[in-house]
Amino acid sequence: MLDKVRDLQQQIEQYTITSPEQLEQFRMRFISRKGVITELFEQLKLVPPTDRRAVGQELNALKNAAQTRFEQFSQLVDEQQTVAGNAPPLDLTLPTLPNLTGTQHPLSLVRQRIIQIFERIGFNVADGPEIESDWYNFGALNFPDNHPARDMQDTFFIEKAADGGTDMLLRTHTSNVQIRLMERQSPPIRSIMPGRVYRNETISARAHCLFHQVEGIYIDRNVGFKDLKDTLYHFVKELFEPGTQIRFRPSYFPFTEPSAEIDISCQICGGKGCNICKYSGWVEIAGSGMVDPQVIANCGIDPEEYTGFAFGMGIERITQLKYVVNDLRLYTENDVRFLRQFEGL
Ligand code: PHE
């Protein structure tokens, strides 16, 4: 028995390995539960009791030696593999993974561009509440109670007034900010007011219950319709493709007189006719007009001394024309495949 142990000891000392397969062979022969050392341990009971202790010690030493040797060999094989490139590939020459950054929302891009254009011609930016009273959204803007003009805008009412009070609602346009500005500030007033507005519409590709507007107002002495036209011509020239045509079409709003809607030649088909412009070659982008003297008076400004114009447009509509987005729902669904298309703009 002792001879056997010594023989194995020698074998282990002399063993060399150069591959993972040989490492496995070593493990099977000396370490595994079916290996020679385990077998010797089983034979220990056959050794006469007087020798058993000594042989047992030798066997234990053999077992430890095999284990140590196995660990040395494993390390060696690991190192060899790394050097040979068999380990998981680590290619330091590969380009780094791109660092994905967020993109600006298309509506933010267009809003900023609109603000930039108007700021350069002397308009500042004003803000106001989205939860508004009936007076600021309708009353002050010449929408008489129960007047059909209120049906032009389907309203979310959120609180019915107690007797004598005023209803609360979600603003249907940003014109409420015009009223609040005129109340607070004396002319000259030259501001635009971007913001979110709400209308009680069923959500579809062409309508949404929330969208964004930019309205503008200019009140001063001697402001005329020519100023309105000049300002909006300039705006269209700056924002849209060169050669875009613009036309003013008579219209009606309770708070402006005269009123006009502004059409531009369709950006999609260049005026030839397509489904976006309903084959007319023109698309409407804004409402506008001279502020009704009554509205100016409602805000405590003398309409004999001051006149002004106002306009309002939908940011979604303009974004649709600039970037050919045909479904309004895309703006609010946060689909990164849609949003990533605006990377770097
Ligand atoms: N407030 C109008 C709307 O939301 C737009 C508008 C603003 C029209 C200013 C004329 C003047 O439809």
Q: What are phi and psi of 196, to 5 degrees?
A: -90, 140
Residues 307 and 291 sit within 8 Å (Cβ to Cβ): yes
Indicate whether residue 320 lines ligand 1 (CB < 6 A): no
Q: What are phi and psi of 310, to 5 degrees?
A: -140, 155
Indicate whether residue 123 lines ligand 1 (CB < 6 A): no
Nearest Cα residue to atom 9 of ligand 1: 311
Q: Are β-strands 246-253 and 256-265 bridged in parallel, bridged antiparallel, or unpaired?
A: antiparallel
Indicate whether residue 175 lines ligand 1 (CB < 6 A): yes
pLDDT beyond 70 at 87: no
What would the pLDDT profile of 211-260 be if each residue is shown by its tens digit? 999 999 999 999 999 999 999 999 999 999 888 999 999 999 999 999 99
Nearest Cα residue to atom 2 of ligand 1: 312
pLDDT beyond 80 at 326: yes
Indicate whether residue 288 lines ligand 1 (CB < 6 A): yes
Of the two residues 155 and 115, the one the predictor is more confident about is: 115
| Cβ-Cβ contacts under 8 Å for 250 (sequence gap 6 or more) | 258, 259, 260, 261
Residue 333 Cα, ligand 1 centroid: separation in angstroms?
A: 27
Of the two residues 19 and 263, the one the predictor is more confident about is: 263
**Mean local confidence (pLDDT), 296-319:** 95
CB burial readout 190-205, b (16+ within 10 A) else e:
bbbbbbebbbeeeeee
What is the rounded distance in angstroms from the CA atom of residue 78 to the CA atom of residue 43? 35
Dihedral, CA atoms, 158, 162, 165, 170, nearest 10 degrees?
Answer: 0
Q: How confident is the model at residue 295 (pLDDT cuts 50, 70, 90)?
A: very high
What is the rounded distance in angstroms from the CA atom of residue 114 to the CA atom of residue 233? 13
Does domain 106-331 fall under CATH 3.40.50.300? My reply is no
Of the two residues 81 and 304, the one the predictor is more confident about is: 304
Indicate whether residue 253 lines ligand 1 (CB < 6 A): yes
Ligand 1 atom at shortest distance from the alpha carbon of 152: 12
What is the rounded distance in angstroms from the CA atom of residue 255 to the CA atom of residue 229? 18
Other Cβ atoms less than 10 A from the Cβ of 235: the count is 22
What is the rounded distance in angstroms from the CA atom of residue 263 to the CA atom of residue 281? 10
Residue type for position 239: L
What would the pLDDT profile of 46-85 be if each residue is shown by its tens digit? 888 888 888 889 999 999 999 999 999 888 888 877 766 5
Q: In the 3-class helix/strand/coil scheme, how is 305-326 assigned residue by residue?
A: CCEEEEEEEEHHHHHHHHHCCC
What is the rounded distance in angstroms from the CA atom of residue 176 to the CA atom of residue 138? 8
Maximum Cα–Cα distance across the chain: 128
Pick the range with the lowest mean pLDDT from 5-9, 159-163, 302-306: 159-163
**Mean local confidence (pLDDT), 287-301:** 95
What is the rounded distance in angstroms from the CA atom of residue 149 to the CA atom of residue 254? 7
Nearest Cα residue to atom 6 of ligand 1: 312
Residue 299 Cα, ligand 1 centroid: separation in angstroms?
A: 17
CB burial readout 239-251, b (16+ within 10 A) else e:
bbeeebebebeee
pLDDT value of position 60: 92
| Cβ-Cβ contacts under 8 Å for 116 (sequence gap 6 or more) | none
What is the rounded distance in angstroms from the CA atom of residue 56 to the CA atom of residue 54? 5
Nearest Cα residue to atom 3 of ligand 1: 173
Q: How confident is the model at residue 327 (pLDDT cuts 50, 70, 90)?
A: confident
The percent of residues above 90 in pLDDT, for the chain, comes to: 54
Pick the range with the lowest mean pLDDT from 92-101, 119-128, 186-195, 241-250: 92-101
Nearest Cα residue to atom 7 of ligand 1: 312
Residue 11 Cα, ligand 1 centroid: separation in angstroms?
A: 97
Q: What is the model's pTM?
A: 0.71
Q: How confident is the model at residue 152 (pLDDT cuts 50, 70, 90)?
A: low
pLDDT value of position 216: 97
Q: Where are the domains of the chain?
A: 2-83, 106-331
